[in-house]
Amino acid sequence: MKNIDENTITQAVIAAMRDGGNARLRKVMNSLVQHLHAFAREVELTEDEWDQAIRFLTAVGHITDDKRQEFILLSDVLGLSTLVTAQNHRKPAGCTEATVFGPFFVDDAPAYQSGDDIANGASGSPCFVTGRVLSVDGSPVASARIDVWQSDEEGFYDVQRPPESAATAEHRARGWLRAAHDGSFHFRSILAEAYPIPHDGPVGQLLEALGRHPWRPAHLHFMITAPGYEKLVTHIFRDGDQYLDSDAVFGVRTSLIAPWIRHEPGVAPDGTVMDEVFYSLQYDFVLNPADATHQHARNG
């Protein structure tokens, strides 16, 4: 270890991790160090570029707080989030595909009853969402917990609003409810719209320097949990959106695209008489039985 040079440094770092410590962490870090060094060699990273990278990561760290997670955003735009999600959710055909979790979920969103309006004051055209939670054999999954979250018509999640604003205090356009015994659920919300990921920070600057746009196609986030089933984290994407083919975070699956149907004023799916244009969305979610997951992971 006394005379390390550019050819021997990688093995020197690996040798330093040879004994002791957590075996899994050691395996992960061994691989990380090899790939990190291979990258630096491949591009012949200069000291100025290394310095830029240090300053970039510092800026990512400094803009991150309990409301904004720029490291998740970075992982998202580099496709790492999608890769990690995909390789951890290999499922039998017929199950609803998973996609990225994103940085906008919050733990303490309000509970709702079937039929409630989860918009809770968020701006946007009314939208009535219906569907069922099913097992892969088509049988209903009773009483699944359905967490849902989305942006408003201006493209902002409530947590992106100023800390003192009503939106932040009241948790708008997010919440959770339970499916009925027959697996069905319905609630009211607002129309999902395309929006740019937060691009006023270092990740936005990176995208701009790469000539990439920050837009995501309109979508509604779902997290569905039920005993005996693999947790499903996914979005439903709005058919026809101009960004379906260039999602900034690479989250779109064809199977997750669904039509938001436009309705003239009249009677909504839940019987409400609407005096304005409204939308409806119908989607059935198919959960993966937990046993199948394990079996698949073992065989995968």
Q: Which of 61, 86, 85, 79 is nearest to 71 (CA)?
A: 61
Binding of a second copy at residue 296 (CB under 8 A)?
A: no
Alpha-carbon span 144 to 218, nearest angstrom: 25
Classify residue 59 by burial, with Cβ atoms within 10 Å: 0-12, 13-18, 19+.
middle
Binding of a second copy at residue 96 (CB under 8 A)?
A: no
Tracing tokens 């015994």 back to the chain, one arrives at 181
Minimum gap (Å) between residue 42 Cβ and a second copy: 5
* Binding residue for a second copy, selected from 93, 162, 181, 210, defined by CB under 8 A: 210
| Region from 3-11, 108-116, 142-150, 189-197 binding a second copy, contact rule CB under 8 A | 3-11
CA dihedral in degrees (21, 23, 27, 30; nearest 10)? 20
The footprint of a second copy on residues 254-283 (CB under 8 A) is 254-255, 257
Number of residues forming the site for a second copy (CB under 8 A): 77
Alpha-carbon span 93 to 191, nearest angstrom: 30
Minimum gap (Å) between residue 59 Cβ and a second copy: 9
The footprint of a second copy on residues 14-53 (CB under 8 A) is 16-17, 19-22, 25-29, 31-33, 35-47, 49-50
Q: Which is nearer to a second copy, 162 or 211 (CB)?
A: 211
Length of the chain: 300
Q: How far is CA 123 from the centre of its chain?
A: 22
Binding of a second copy at residue 211 (CB under 8 A)?
A: yes
3-state DSSP call for residue 153? coil
Q: Which is nearer to a second copy, 122 or 252 (CB)?
A: 252
Binding of a second copy at residue 94 (CB under 8 A)?
A: no
Q: Which is nearer to a second copy, 84 or 111 (CB)?
A: 84
Give yes or no for a contact between 215 and 194, defined as CB atoms under 8 angstroms apart.
yes
Binding of a second copy at residue 247 (CB under 8 A)?
A: yes
Tracing tokens 């021997």 back to the chain, one arrives at 8
Contact characters 53-92, a second copy, x per CB under 8 A? -x--xx-xxx-x----x-xx--x--xxxxxxxxxxx-x--
Binding of a second copy at residue 209 (CB under 8 A)?
A: yes
Minimum gap (Å) between residue 257 Cβ and a second copy: 7
Give yes or no for a contact between 176 and 109, defined as CB atoms under 8 angstroms apart.
yes
Give yes or no for a contact between 220 and 256, defined as CB atoms under 8 angstroms apart.
no
Binding of a second copy at residue 180 (CB under 8 A)?
A: no
Question: 242 CB contacts (<8 Å, ≥6 apart)?
Answer: 194, 217
Q: Which is nearer to a second copy, 62 or 262 (CB)?
A: 62
Minimum gap (Å) between residue 5 Cβ and a second copy: 5
